[in-house]
A and B are shown apart, each in its own frame.
Chain A
Amino acid sequence: MAGRLKLPCEGTMKEAMTAYYTEAFTSDRPKAWVTSGAPVELLLAADVIPIFPENYGAMIGAQRLGGDLCSAAGDLGFDDCVCSYARCTIASTERGEGPLGALPAPDLLLACNNGCGTMFKWYEVLSRRFGVPLLFFDTPYCDGEPTPRDREYLVRQLERIIAELGDILGREVDRNRLWETLRLSSDTARLWTGIQELRKARPCPLNSPDMFLHMALIVTLRGTEIAYNYYQEMLAQVRERVEAGIGAVEGERYRLLWDHIPPWYALRDFFGFCAELGACFAVDTYTNVWQGEFDPDHPLESLAECYQKVMPNLRLPWRAAMYVDYIRDYAIDGFVIHSNHSCKSYCLGEYEIARRVTAETGVRGVILEADMVDPKFYSEAQVKQMMAAFLESLD
């Protein structure tokens, strides 16, 4: 199996994530469980520790604990059509099991439905389970740009969330600190985008599984010096790699696009298998979600817009156009779509997107059926056979 070529900065990230989880488990500061697409900047500015159950779901998946925990969720009454991130983390909470045991109990919750409607359902379950308040940011489905009524609705909600957060904490959220957090978050997102841009190089310096690992800080700690410093270091190292002509996959033969969250339990196995065949995933839709930049002159308005316009919340024509741009900009030979059993929001429309992208670019794709955490929807032999045949067809 082809090994992953590591960047020197990975040690820094491991230290940062260890410190983050240690603080989350031991600190007396208030803690909030938060969805990955919610405006975490509000929490950071209010000195609340954000905890991301989705990240924990990914860890559960990667450590192959998803099968048992999803099955345990079934015993609690949650059937297989419920998101496997939700299922495995709910079961982890009830059983006290998981890579780090159960996550520390939250004092409050912050959810946004820009990724899917699943989020607020999941967080309602958590709110009732822990008896803590849920702050919810409702982001209407976006037709490219927010409508004036969207903007008003979004900004008024943010004002309400900021006020309610202050009420819960017993102290007002410091607006100046919030603007500073937004500035740092923007600067960090710009670095992340810069790293993504470097993947256009041939050979590609970073394969998608690398990005799935390195995204941990942009998800959890965007808006902090820790994340900003880390991505500065990473950007420099990736640039060096590009200048030295080092590719993430030895003998890069195919440049692919990956769509969706990966099947975490098969991360090494699947992407390693592809790498052995010379396939590098030079771009992916998933890790490009964290890209928003905020306007310091209109911070709340731009915060609202950034969070509404994330990829899974865009209407299909915009998503398809994004794929076409990726294929052209990253010189992609083929695309691989993960039809994720857990995720109707991200997946429904994939068949049509695939057709439109092929019609416009001439580049073909393959659709793999699986799930991000629950391995029972994944057939290793079938997936590998399909990938091998697909890559052969690209020659």
Chain B
Amino acid sequence: MQRLVEIARDPHGALREAAREGKGVVGYFCSYVPVELIHAAGFTPVRMLQGPPPGEVAGRYMQPFCCSFARSLLEGLGDGTYAYLSAVVMPHTCDTIRNLSDLVETAAPGTRVMRLMVPTVTHTAEAADFMLAETEALKEALEDLAGEELDRERLFQSIRLYNRCRDALAGLKGSGLGNRALYAAYLAFQLMDPEEFLALASSLSRGPADRDARAREAGSAESGGAGVALVGGPVPQLEVFDLLQEYGLEVVWDDLCTGSRFAAGAVRENGDPLRALAERYLGRRPCPTKRDPDNRREEELVKGVAAGGARGVVFLQQAFCEFHSFDYPGLKKRLDAEGIPSVRLDLEHPFAPTGQMRTRLQALSEMMGEGR
């Protein structure tokens, strides 16, 4: 467990070392990037989750009203934190990440940028075909970087490996590991070699006694708090989960970009592998940057709360994230109608728990107690 926590807190040392040893590392900016493709091309895929606090580089290129998540990543690309990367894959997600793709090559000269135009629509035949065509283009770019063709069997091997990793993660959910350990595992999955991750995650699923011991090893508080569901974008800071634990809130379900939205759903292991990837990535519960004609996010939130036995919801948003901010009033209204208390915390990098956050969590904790 300790290794997963270390990776979740600071992945750069291990990745730098891997790159020095000749194992290429490719960064990717969001959960719509088919990591299996990067892995099959011979690279370790690493999610771009947290650079240094935004400073000179970010200030030179980005307005302060852009989220600190994106600003921190540009800072890290510009100041050399991510110098070990062979390339970065930048998908079309929000307007900020879309436009950032044009700034990376200037802020971090020499960085190879591969663009992936993920369609905003996920439910139509033409969107599926477009995603497939974009996935094929990404495959070609990765082949060019690797200097060799990527064969079908290798791609299936990577697909199987990532499916096993997702299974292993699913096995950890609801296992009483505690917030910190569970989300350290989620984050580490996105930040390290998947084979090593699979070995570590599998060893964690051995038995309840072991799990508790490993949770303590990870620094998680004891499990058994009041169940909450989390909704939001990327949450790379483990301290957020510690804060929830401080108020006796144990995460039982999530719709986080770095949580289940990233990890849920397997890729089909037969047929055309590229089509299988396109289907899995477009078919997931949509993130706020995608069209959601059937209001799946809202429906699945209510179902997830019920299924997980959550008594409250915490919205975890990156401050200045317009896409999440558009969804928030509707989701909140639905929760209110269902009698489910919720609070919202706006996250900045670096993370520091504010008095307002504490007050809100305290209030939620009390409301959840009253609803018992």
A376 on the interface (CB 8 Å rule)? Answer: no
Closest partner residue, chain A, to B132 (CB atom): A149
| Contact between chains at B291 and A136 (CB < 8 Å) | yes
B270 on the interface (CB 8 Å rule)? Answer: no
| Contact between chains at B96 and A348 (CB < 8 Å) | yes
| Contact between chains at B121 and A136 (CB < 8 Å) | yes
Closest partner residue, chain A, to B98 (CB atom): A141
Interface string of A333-374 (1 = CB under 8 A from B): 000000101001101111110000000000000000000000
Chain B residues 72 to 125 lying within 8 A of chain A, measured CB to CB, are: 92, 94-96, 98-103, 106, 115, 117, 119-121, 124-125
B293 on the interface (CB 8 Å rule)? Answer: yes
| Contact between chains at A118 and B60 (CB < 8 Å) | no
- In the complex, which of the residues B65, B126, B134, B288 has the most CB atoms of chain A within 10 Å of its own CB atom? B65
Interface string of A7-20 (1 = CB under 8 A from B): 00000000000000
Which of B96, B120, B125 is A138 in contact with, Cβ under 8 Å? B120
Which of A82, A113, A316, A350 is B322 in contact with, Cβ under 8 Å? A82
Chain A residues 112 to 139 lying within 8 A of chain B, measured CB to CB, are: 113, 116-118, 120-122, 124-125, 128, 134, 136, 138
| Contact between chains at B330 and A125 (CB < 8 Å) | yes
In the complex, what distance in Å separates the CA atom of A140 from the CA atom of B120? 8
Interface string of B309-326 (1 = CB under 8 A from A): 000000000011111011
Closest partner residue, chain A, to B124 (CB atom): A160
Number of interface residues of A (CB under 8 A): 44
- In the complex, which of the residues B61, B325, B326 has the most CB atoms of chain A within 10 Å of its own CB atom? B326
B264 on the interface (CB 8 Å rule)? Answer: no
In the complex, what distance in Å separates the CA atom of A348 from the CA atom of B99? 6
- In the complex, which of the residues B119, B120, B124, B327 has the most CB atoms of chain A within 10 Å of its own CB atom? B120
| Contact between chains at A344 and B95 (CB < 8 Å) | yes
In the complex, what distance in Å separates the CA atom of A83 from the CA atom of B94? 14
Closest partner residue, chain B, to A76 (CB atom): B329
| Contact between chains at B126 and A113 (CB < 8 Å) | no
Which residues on A sit within 8 Å (CB–CB) of B61?
A: 349, 351-352
Which residues on B sit within 8 Å (CB–CB) of A315?
A: 102
| Contact between chains at B99 and A349 (CB < 8 Å) | yes
B175 on the interface (CB 8 Å rule)? Answer: no
Given contacts A121-B288, A138-B127, whether A149 and B133 have CB atoms under 8 Å apart is: yes
| Contact between chains at B321 and A352 (CB < 8 Å) | no
| Contact between chains at A339 and B121 (CB < 8 Å) | no
Shortest distance between the CB of A269 and any CB in chain B (Å) = 23
B18 on the interface (CB 8 Å rule)? Answer: no
In the complex, what distance in Å separates the CA atom of A339 from the CA atom of B59? 14
In the complex, what distance in Å separates the CA atom of A317 from the CA atom of B325? 30
Which residues on A sit within 8 Å (CB–CB) of B92?
A: 140-141
Interface string of A208-250 (1 = CB under 8 A from B): 0000000000000000000000000000000000000000000
A291 on the interface (CB 8 Å rule)? Answer: no
Shortest distance between the CB of A368 and any CB in chain B (Å) = 12
In the complex, what distance in Å separates the CA atom of A140 from the CA atom of B319? 26
| Contact between chains at B103 and A352 (CB < 8 Å) | yes
Number of interface residues of B (CB under 8 A): 50
In the complex, what distance in Å separates the CA atom of A120 from the CA atom of B326? 10
Shortest distance between the CB of B165 and any CB in chain A (Å) = 30
Chain B residues 243 to 268 lying within 8 A of chain A, measured CB to CB, are: none
Which of A78, A339, A347, A348 is B100 in contact with, Cβ under 8 Å? A348
| Contact between chains at A117 and B292 (CB < 8 Å) | no
A153 on the interface (CB 8 Å rule)? Answer: yes
| Contact between chains at A121 and B121 (CB < 8 Å) | no
A101 on the interface (CB 8 Å rule)? Answer: no
B146 on the interface (CB 8 Å rule)? Answer: no
Which residues on B sit within 8 Å (CB–CB) of A82?
A: 322, 325-326
B332 on the interface (CB 8 Å rule)? Answer: yes
A170 on the interface (CB 8 Å rule)? Answer: no
In the complex, what distance in Å separates the CA atom of A83 from the CA atom of B121? 21
Which of B94, B127, B292 is A153 in contact with, Cβ under 8 Å? B127
Shortest distance between the CB of B95 and any CB in chain A (Å) = 4
| Contact between chains at A339 and B295 (CB < 8 Å) | no
In the complex, what distance in Å separates the CA atom of A79 from the CA atom of B293? 23
A157 on the interface (CB 8 Å rule)? Answer: yes
- In the complex, which of the residues B60, B102, B117, B124 has the most CB atoms of chain A within 10 Å of its own CB atom? B102
| Contact between chains at B330 and A128 (CB < 8 Å) | yes
| Contact between chains at B120 and A113 (CB < 8 Å) | yes
| Contact between chains at A149 and B130 (CB < 8 Å) | yes
Q: 20 A-B contacts, Cβ less than 8 Å apart?
A: A77-B329, A78-B325, A81-B321, A117-B323, A120-B291, A121-B326, A138-B127, A138-B291, A140-B92, A141-B117, A143-B115, A153-B127, A156-B129, A315-B102, A316-B102, A316-B103, A344-B65, A344-B94, A349-B103, A352-B103
Q: With contacts A140-B117, A149-B137 known, what are 11 further pairs, Cβ within 8 A? A: A78-B326, A116-B95, A117-B98, A121-B288, A121-B322, A124-B292, A125-B326, A143-B115, A315-B102, A347-B63, A349-B99
Nearest first, the 7 closest Cβ-Cβ pairs linking A and B are A77-B329, A316-B102, A156-B126, A121-B326, A149-B133, A345-B95, A348-B99
Residues of B within 8 A of A (CB): 60-63, 65-66, 92, 94-96, 98-103, 106, 115, 117, 119-121, 124-127, 129-130, 133-134, 137, 288-289, 291-293, 295, 319-323, 325-330, 332-333
